[in-house]
Amino acid sequence: MIKLHYLHEDPTQELGFSAYLLLQEENHHSFLILNDDEILGQIDLSNGHWRNLADQKLDEEFVKSISKFIMAQQFLHLPKLIKNRWKDFVAEVVVQSESNYLIVTKADIDFETFEKIFSDFVPQLIKEEWPITFKVYDAGFNQEFELRV
């Protein structure tokens, strides 16, 4: 599950902004927009454009602002970066949450060498302000390591 805290400028509010929670239950699915416990809407990326799926009308600029925020998040880009950087080693990268990733290596690699290389260089790819945990398994799930960056 992806949980993002989104602050939207709102001059009608005492503090000048409103806080929202954006939830995505499964990867590549829509995001719920919550204000406290109230679901305000649901947006989905379709054909390169974010659209409101809920019956409730959302301000178009509000949806654009949320979509820009979501698209800037690293969990959308980091799996591809990792697979491209270590294409000879990595078979799959699964986003479990905005701070947890599962990585499965290709068969017949030197897992210990990959652990050293990955541990030394992945911190340079991380741009988040919170800790990121990688759980890395070999192709047969016989070896594993965990790295917190």
> What are the domain boundaries of the chain?
2-72, 76-148
Rounded to 5°, angle at Cα 17 from 99 and 64: 70
- Give the pLDDT confidence of 16-42 residue by residue, as tens digits: 788 999 999 876 778 999 998 888 889
How many CB atoms neighbour CB 58 within 10 A? 16
Band the pLDDT of 76: cuts 50, 70, 90.
confident
Q: For the whole model, what pTM was predicted?
A: 0.75
3-state secondary structure of 43: strand
Query: Which residues 6+ apart lie within 8 Å of 144 measured at CB?
Result: 135, 136, 137, 138
**Distance separating alpha carbons of residues 7 and 91, to the nearest angstrom:** 36
Q: What is the pLDDT of residue 56?
A: 73
32: which strand partners? 23, 42
